[in-house]
Chains A and B, each alone.
Chain A
Amino acid sequence: MSPVKTYFSDVFMGLWTAMVGMSITLKYLFSKPVTEMYPDVKPKTPTRYRGLHVFEEEKCIGCYVCAKACPVDCIEIGVVRKGKEIKITKFDIDYQKCMFCDLCCEPCPAHCIHMGPEFERASFTRSGTILQFATPKELSEDEKKIEKVARK
């Protein structure tokens, strides 16, 4: 191309490409913003989201399978067994360790532990990150004797 032609085509292309670019950004101007107004509006988590655990105490048989499956040993369970009666005295999960791998939920024979949609449990203390899922119970003296607390 001759220099004159190059010059004019450069000027034209400069204007043309600027206009093409502007048409693209204009499309984005009218597209829906992707911002999530997080603290004001909670995000919808997906159905199989691995958030904080959901524990169904009435179904739990205190078999420690979940605690055994846990690769980081973050589940601590306390059980009182009297014949067929099972009392869950403790079901603590240490979220400093938990890596939300879902391995505790899969082997559970009673299907009492699941991964839930919640995720907001940040804490300023270490003890605040250990969540107690079992409801606190008054134990009699002989119940205290047969209570078994274990991690694995």
Chain B
Amino acid sequence: MNELARFLPTFLEGFNLSLPQNLVPVVAMFLCGSIVAAAMGLSAAVLVWAERKLAGHFQCRLGPVYVGGKFGWLQSIADGIKLFLKEDIIPTDADRPLFRLAPYLAVIGVLAAFVAFPISEHLLVADLNIGIFFILAVLTVEVFGVILAGWASNNKWSLLGAMRAAAQMVSSEIPMGLAILLPVMTAESLSLKTIVADQSGGILKWYVFQPPFFMAVAFLIFFVAGLASLKRSPFDLPEAESELTAGFHTEYSGMRFSFFFMAEYAGMLLVSGLAALLYLGGWHGILPGQSGVEWFLLKTSFLLFVMIWIRWTLPRLRIDQVVYVGWKVMTPFALVCVLGQAAAVHFRGG
């Protein structure tokens, strides 16, 4: 009963709602989706606030201070209400159906990925036996949303941004996939729960600290490639403000814009969470025997902090530099790591 997707149908049946028998799974799925969407939206709101606050302090400013009394902790809610009330503009020359479809695709990709995303041993929606593969597969849907948005806007800047997003995605997703191969090979499973279970028993059992340290390099590659696939600074070329106004979402306003925004921040959460699950022992603590949601949240929030930290440190790269880093640096390094780890797993007694 530790998986939401299994627990909810039995929970609903316990209520005697007199639903037709074949409707119960549908209602349960709907509830699951709502819970995931609410959690995603809420965490994105908290992240936006944290980003603004940290950005302020990185620049010796204060960030938001007024909204919600202290520390501006209601800033994201106020922003959300503002975006909600904004006029929804669709340019006359835009491709209307595609223009409308794009933001939903961007959000749905991330939302679907969260379904297979375990937060702790007992807190997850569904433990898919191909978990990490599923997440990688549906995450790419987000890039379709970005490319569609750039194309449908009928705007040169948007199109340039979308093309950059496509080039960047292709060059970052391959090292990312290769880096994920290492934990998968070591745990001999694609299920995230099994991968984390294999890292139990203290900090030295985490995959980053496993000799011969191919996994540490893979962790770095995964994190950098994750930044690139999220379009986060220093890889924020698809929306480079100084060159492309806002890139692929130049023409978007109001709620449609906030969908892109939410997808980006939820994606940050997803990549940091995945890095924590795959390499940093997930919900296992520093000492053997320690485990719980708090450890997972601690690791994820540290990685999120690093993402924000990098954003306010490094300037934007050029597109040829991004593609160079993807193809000529991260991919060969990832390949060497995969081969090395494969040999290590083989000689370990496989």
Contacts and interface: CB of A to CB of B under 8 A. Distances in A.
B61 interface: yes
Given A11-B329, A18-B314, A37-B65, A25 B58 contact: yes
Pick the most buried of B54, B60, B313, B329: most chain A CB atoms within 10 A of its CB.
B313
Nearest to B321: A14
A11 B59 CA distance: 28
A29 B54 contact: yes
Interface residues of A, number: 17
B312 interface: yes
A21 interface: yes
B62 interface: yes
Nearest to A31: B60
What DSSP secondary structure best describes chain A's contact surface?
Answer: helix
Size band of the B side of the interface? Answer: 10 to 19
A125 interface: no
Contacts, number: 41
B257 interface: no
A9 to B, nearest CB: 12
A35 B63 CA distance: 9
A22 interface: yes
A122 interface: no
B57 A29 contact: yes
Contact of B313 (A14, A21, A34, A37): A21
Nearest to B330: A11
Contacts of B57: 28-29, 33
A124 B207 CA distance: 67
B310 interface: yes
A26 B312 CA distance: 10
B80 interface: no
Contact of A29 (B58, B310, B333): B58
Contacts of A31: 60
Interface string A12-39: 0011001001101110110111110100
